[in-house]
Amino acid sequence: MSYTITTESFDSIIYSWDKLRHCLKWSSVFILPAWLKVWWESFGREAELYLRMLWQEKKAIGFAPLQLTNETASFIGSADVCDYLDFAIAPGREQDFFTTLLEDLREKGISKLDLRPLRYDSTVLTQLVGIAQNRGYEVLRHPEDVSLELDLPLTWNEYLAILKAKQRHEVRRKLRRLWEAGSVEHHCIEVGREVAGYLDIFLQLFSLSRDEKAGFMNPKMESFFRSMSKAMAEIGLLRLGILKLDKVPAAMTIGFDYNGAHYLYNSAYDPQFSHLSVGLLCKILCLKESIEKGKKKWNFLKGGEPYKYQLGGQEVPLYSCQIAIA
C-alpha cells in the first residue's frame, strides 16, 4: 500500500476537524486539536513541532501530535494539565500507522520515544509496544499514576445504591444539611461567549484555596485555563458547574462532556462554606445532573484522592513508555 505523510499545522487540523473527527479515533479531550493548540501556545514552543498526518490517497489513517527535543520525541502536552495522551488513529489501521511513523522518525534522526501519561488501553500500549518489540527495539513501561472513572447508571437512586452504606448515608446527610442552610442553586452550564465571566468567578474561588492549589494557579497557568476554556467552549465541550448559596458562589467545577462521558477537570470552593462540604457537593450535584442527562461515564481523572473512591470511582492505571528506536 502507498502512504503519504503530510506536515500539518494546528490550524490545518482544526480546519479539517469536521472530517477528521469522524474517521479517526480521538480517545480523549486531551488530544483534540483545539486543546493541543492551546497547550502549545501556553507551554510549548521550545521544542520542534512534529504534527504529521498519514494518508492513504485521500483517506486519513492517523495523526501524530509530537514535539521533538534533541533526538527524543514526546507528546504535545504535559502531565500537570493533560491527564492522559495518545495518537489519533483510524480503527484497525494501527499497524500501518505506527510502522510508517517509526520509519519517518528514524529518518529524521529521532532515537527515542518518551510517551506519557498513557491509559492502559492507549494505542501506544496496546499496539505500538508490540510493533516496536517485533522490530527489536527496547521498550520500557512504568506505572505512573492512576485515573478514576465510573460507569453511570440510569437513575440517581441506582447510583446511590452502588455506594457503600456509609457513603450513601453521608451523601444524603450532606445534601440535606446544604439545603437546610439557605437558598441553594446548582447548574452545569453550557457556556458560550460568556465563558470569561464564569472563569473570573472560578479563579477567584481558586485563589481562596489554602492548600497546594493556591501555588498551582500562577499567571501562566491562569492564561492557559482561560484560553483552554474558551477553546473548549467554542467546540461545545465545556461544562461549568456552579453551586450558589443564597446567591453567593460557593463552589465551581470545570469539566467537559465528550463521547458520552463527563470529564471532571478541576474544581474550587470558598473556604467560608467548607463546613457544608460545598466542594464535594458541587461535584456530586454535577454527577447527578450527568446521570439525568443520560451520560454513560464519569471521569474523575488523574489522582487517587479519597473522595473519588468514596463516590464509586474505579482505578484506571496510567503509565509512561520509553521506546529506543535507534
Do 114 and 182 lie in a common domain?
Answer: no
Do 141 and 160 lie in a common domain?
Answer: no
* Whole-number pLDDT of residue 190: 79
Do 9 and 139 lie in a common domain?
Answer: yes
Q: What is the identity of the amino acid at 319? A: Y
| Mean of pLDDT values over 206-227 | 83
Do 96 and 223 lie in a common domain?
Answer: no
Task: Return the residue matching grid coordinates 437513575.
Answer: 155
Global model pTM greater than 0.75:
yes
Cα–Cα dist 184/244, whole Å: 6
- Tell me whether residue 28 is in a domain: yes
Classified as helix, coil or strand, 116 is strand
217 confidence band (pLDDT: 50, 70, 90): confident
Do 50 and 178 lie in a common domain?
Answer: no
Classified as helix, coil or strand, 76 is coil
Of the chain, the percentage scoring pLDDT greater than 70 comes to 98
* Whole-number pLDDT of residue 326: 75
**Within 13 Å and on the Cβ side, how many CA atoms surround 169?**
3
* Whole-number pLDDT of residue 293: 95
Please report, for the domain that includes residue 101, its CATH number.
Answer: 3.40.630.30
Cell of 14: 482544526
Do 79 and 140 lie in a common domain?
Answer: yes
- Tell me whether residue 306 is in a domain: no
211 confidence band (pLDDT: 50, 70, 90): low
**Domain span at 234:** 153-295
Do 9 and 113 lie in a common domain?
Answer: yes
Distance of CA 246 to the CA centre of its chain: 32
- Tell me whether residue 27 is in a domain: yes
Q: Is the pLDDT of residue 238 over 80?
A: yes
| Mean of pLDDT values over 50-62 | 95
| Nearest Cα to Cα of residue 111 among 132, 96, 134 | 132
- Tell me whether residue 263 is in a domain: yes
Q: Is the pLDDT of residue 154 over 90?
A: yes
Do 117 and 86 lie in a common domain?
Answer: yes
Instruction: Read off the pLDDT of residues 20-34 as tens digits, 9 standing for 90 and up.
Output: 999 999 999 999 999
- Tell me whether residue 312 is in a domain: no
Q: Is the pLDDT of residue 55 over 80?
A: yes
Q: Is the pLDDT of residue 89 over 80?
A: yes
* Whole-number pLDDT of residue 189: 85
Distances in Å between the Cα of 269 and the Cα atoms of 170, 216, 257, 266, 282 are 19, 15, 21, 11, 9
275 confidence band (pLDDT: 50, 70, 90): very high
List residues bridging with 139 in a β-sheet.
323
Instruction: Read off the pLDDT of residues 31-52 as tens digits, 9 standing for 90 and up.
Output: 999 999 999 999 997 899 999 9
164-170: Cβ within 8 A, 24+ apart: 167/310, 167/311, 170/310
296 confidence band (pLDDT: 50, 70, 90): very high
| Mean of pLDDT values over 238-262 | 97
Q: What is the identity of the amino acid at 107? A: E
Query: SS3 sequence, 249-305?
Result: EEEEEEEEEECCEEEEEEEEECHHHHHHCHHHHHHHHHHHHHHHCCCCEEEEEECCC
Instruction: Among 14-18, 183-187, 191-195, 223-227, name the one with the lowest average pLDDT.
Output: 191-195
Q: What is the DSSP letter of 32?
A: S
Distance of CA 262 to the CA centre of its chain: 10
Cα–Cα dist 40/23, whole Å: 24
Cα–Cα dist 193/189, whole Å: 12
- The structural domain count of the chain equals 2
Cell of 233: 467552549
- Tell me whether residue 56 is in a domain: yes
Do 219 and 132 lie in a common domain?
Answer: no
Q: Is the pLDDT of residue 148 over 80?
A: yes
- Tell me whether residue 181 is in a domain: yes
Mean pLDDT of the chain: 95
- Tell me whether residue 33 is in a domain: yes
Classified as helix, coil or strand, 5 is strand
297 confidence band (pLDDT: 50, 70, 90): very high
Do 10 and 138 lie in a common domain?
Answer: yes
Do 10 and 137 lie in a common domain?
Answer: yes
Instruction: Among 130-144, 182-196, 245-259, 282-296, name the one with the lowest average pLDDT.
Output: 182-196
| Mean of pLDDT values over 302-314 | 97
Q: Decide: 113 and 69 in contact? Cβ < 8 Å.
A: no
* Whole-number pLDDT of residue 213: 63
Q: How far apart are the first and last CA of the chain?
A: 25
Could you tell me where the beta strands, DSSP code E, fall in 22-111? Answer: 48-56, 59-69, 72-75, 88-89
* Whole-number pLDDT of residue 162: 96
Of the chain, the percentage scoring pLDDT greater than 90 comes to 90
* Whole-number pLDDT of residue 215: 74
Cα–Cα dist 108/103, whole Å: 9
* Whole-number pLDDT of residue 121: 97
* Whole-number pLDDT of residue 13: 95
193 confidence band (pLDDT: 50, 70, 90): low
At 119, give phi and psi (nearest 5°): -70, 155
Cα–Cα dist 165/159, whole Å: 12
| Nearest Cα to Cα of residue 220 among 65, 45, 83 | 45
Q: Is the pLDDT of residue 316 over 80?
A: yes
Cα–Cα dist 90/93, whole Å: 6
Do 192 and 245 lie in a common domain?
Answer: yes
